[in-house]
């Protein structure tokens, strides 16, 4: 693995990402991060005790952050030097906050609409897990009709287009089908899909998953799907992780990220396990979005699978361990890789 790290550092030094154009959509929200320094059982016990006596305080650490898969991924890609465009809807306050969060990143926010509703999320971070309380705002109804001719032109010109948060969007299937269809018509760019947790879908969740799989994945509209262990079981429609991956990989490249390791599965081949970095996390929220940015970055600059996966791990590890929650530049990553150590892992597949 040290050889891979050394080669990755060389590739980062040689990379020229400004020649590429990436589009990410559609979710931006304001995250209120609530960090509780113990586990879920402790939090629930304390919550019940306080509620039982009529109310009171639980002491936590709180912060206001940029949120939403698309906005977080865009921020990380911009830090890496990639020309990245965020397509989203918010309100005037949300737009001002987005300007603040993207300050110094040379971001083009001309594709951000200010005629929508502000989305917000409260992330309760417990030891080993996090729970999201989300108000999706305009994201809940972000369909193809929300796209302007200017935005569709941008999508046609992009080297890669990422659609995320299908689970929070009532029109998520229609949006992904339309956007990825545009990309495939041009036969130039790549499509990257991070559907997220399907649980927020209203009605029959399994029926919604089946509809998405049949209309988007099975139709060959997605080149890459980014999923964690729980998500791959849901979208692969199997309880067993290995069987779920084998089912899903028949129609799309699966980039699987877990807490301990990552792997890529193609239809006819797969990578070995690339271990995560052994760091002390300061936060959990946004780790997957940073990982996606690294994965996308490695994809567009043409890294081998092992290098791309280690890069994605490094971007996520740097972000969740940085005291200020900053996304890394390429120089930051090179320094991080030079001194970082890897976890010991035990295969679960």
Q: What mean pLDDT, rounded, does the chain reach?
A: 93
The mean per-residue pLDDT over the stretch 285-310 comes to: 96
| Token pair 């029926």: residue | 207
In this model, does residue 134 exceed pLDDT 90? no
pLDDT of residue 162: 98
In this model, does residue 79 exceed pLDDT 70? yes
Per the CB < 8 A criterion, the answer to whether 212 and 195 are in contact is yes
Going by pLDDT thresholds of 50, 70 and 90, the confidence category of residue 121 is confident
Going by pLDDT thresholds of 50, 70 and 90, the confidence category of residue 14 is very high
SS3 state at 323: coil
DSSP string of 144-207, one letter each residue: GGG--HHHHHHHHH-SEEEEE-GGG-TTHHHHHHHHHHHHHHHTSSEEEEE----TT--S-HHH
pLDDT of residue 156: 97
The mean per-residue pLDDT over the stretch 330-338 comes to: 96
H-type alpha helices, the chain: 2-14, 40-52, 69-79, 92-101, 149-157, 172-186, 205-212, 229-236, 241-248, 287-300, 305-321, 330-339
Cross-strand bridge partners of residue 190? 160
| Structural domain boundaries in the chain | 2-339
CA 120 to the chain's CA centroid: 17
Tell me the per-residue pLDDT of 237-268, one tens digit each, with 9 for 90 and over.
999 999 999 999 999 999 999 999 999 999 99
Note the pTM of the prediction, 2 decimals.
0.90
289: part of which helix (H) or strand (E)? helix 287-300
Going by pLDDT thresholds of 50, 70 and 90, the confidence category of residue 149 is very high
In this structure, the chain runs to a length of 349
Q: Count of CB atoms within 10 A of residue 266's CB?
A: 12
Instruction: Return the higher-pLDDT residue of 184 and 348.
Output: 184
CA 207 vs CA 173, 234, 235: distances in Å: 12, 11, 11
pLDDT of residue 312: 98
In this model, does residue 2 exceed pLDDT 80? no
Which residues have C-beta within 8 Å of that of residue 33, sequence separation ≥ 6? 62, 63, 64, 65, 123, 125, 283, 285
Per the CB < 8 A criterion, the answer to whether 296 and 192 are in contact is yes
Per the CB < 8 A criterion, the answer to whether 80 and 53 are in contact is no
CATH fold for the domain made of 2-339: 3.40.1190
Indicate the Cα dihedral angle 102, 107, 110, 114, nearest 10°. -10
The angle at the Cα of 90, spanning 88 to 92, to the nearest 5 degrees, equals 135
Per the CB < 8 A criterion, the answer to whether 100 and 74 are in contact is no
pLDDT of residue 347: 59
| Dist CA 185 CA 163 (whole Å) | 17
Instruction: Return the higher-pLDDT residue of 150 and 135.
Output: 150
Choice among 204-213, 321-330, 337-346 with the minimum mean pLDDT: 337-346
Per the CB < 8 A criterion, the answer to whether 252 and 232 are in contact is no
Tell me the per-residue pLDDT of 162-180, one tens digit each, with 9 for 90 and over.
999 999 999 999 999 999 9
pLDDT of residue 283: 80
In this model, does residue 346 exceed pLDDT 70? no
């Amino acid at each position: 693995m040290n050889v891979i790290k050394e080669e990755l550092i060389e590739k980062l030094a040689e990379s020229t990402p400004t020649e590429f154009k990436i589009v990410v959509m559609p979710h931006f929200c304001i995250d209120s991060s609530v960090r509780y320094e113990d586990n879920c059982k402790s939090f629930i016990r304390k919550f019940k005790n306080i509620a039982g006596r009529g109310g009171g305080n639980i002491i936590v650490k709180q912060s206001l952050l940029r949120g939403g898969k698309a906005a977080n991924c865009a921020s990380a890609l911009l830090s890496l030097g990639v020309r990245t465009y965020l397509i989203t809807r918010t309100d005037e306050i949300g737009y001002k906050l987005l300007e603040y969060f993207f300050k110094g990143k040379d971001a083009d926010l001309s594709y951000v609409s200010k005629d929508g509703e502000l989305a917000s999320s409260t992330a309760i971070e417990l030891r080993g897990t996090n729970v999201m309380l989300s108000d999706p705002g305009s994201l809940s109804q972000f369909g193809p009709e929300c796209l302007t001719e200017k935005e569709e032109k941008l999508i046609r010109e992009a080297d890669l287009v990422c659609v995320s948060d299908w689970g929070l969007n009532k029109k998520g299937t229609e949006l992904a089908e339309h956007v990825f269809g545009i990309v495939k018509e041009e036969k130039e760019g790549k499509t990257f899909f991070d559907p997220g947790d399907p649980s927020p879908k209203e009605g029959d969740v399994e029926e919604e998953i089946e509809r998405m799989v049949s209309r988007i994945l099975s139709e060959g509209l997605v080149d890459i799907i980014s999923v964690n262990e729980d998500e791959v079981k849901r979208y692969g429609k199997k309880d067993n992780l290995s069987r779920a991956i084998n089912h899903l990989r028949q129609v799309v490249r699966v980039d699987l990220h877990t807490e301990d390791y990552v792997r890529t599965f193609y239809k006819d081949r797969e990578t070995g396990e690339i271990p995560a970095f052994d760091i002390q996390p300061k936060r959990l929220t946004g780790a997957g979005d940073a990982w996606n940015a690294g994965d996308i970055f490695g994809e567009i600059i043409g890294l081998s699978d092992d290098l791309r996966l280690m890069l994605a791990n490094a971007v996520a590890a740097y972000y969740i361990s940085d005291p200020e929650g900053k996304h890394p530049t390429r120089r930051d990553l090179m320094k991080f890789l030079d001194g970082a150590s890897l976890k010991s892992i035990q295969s679960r597949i």
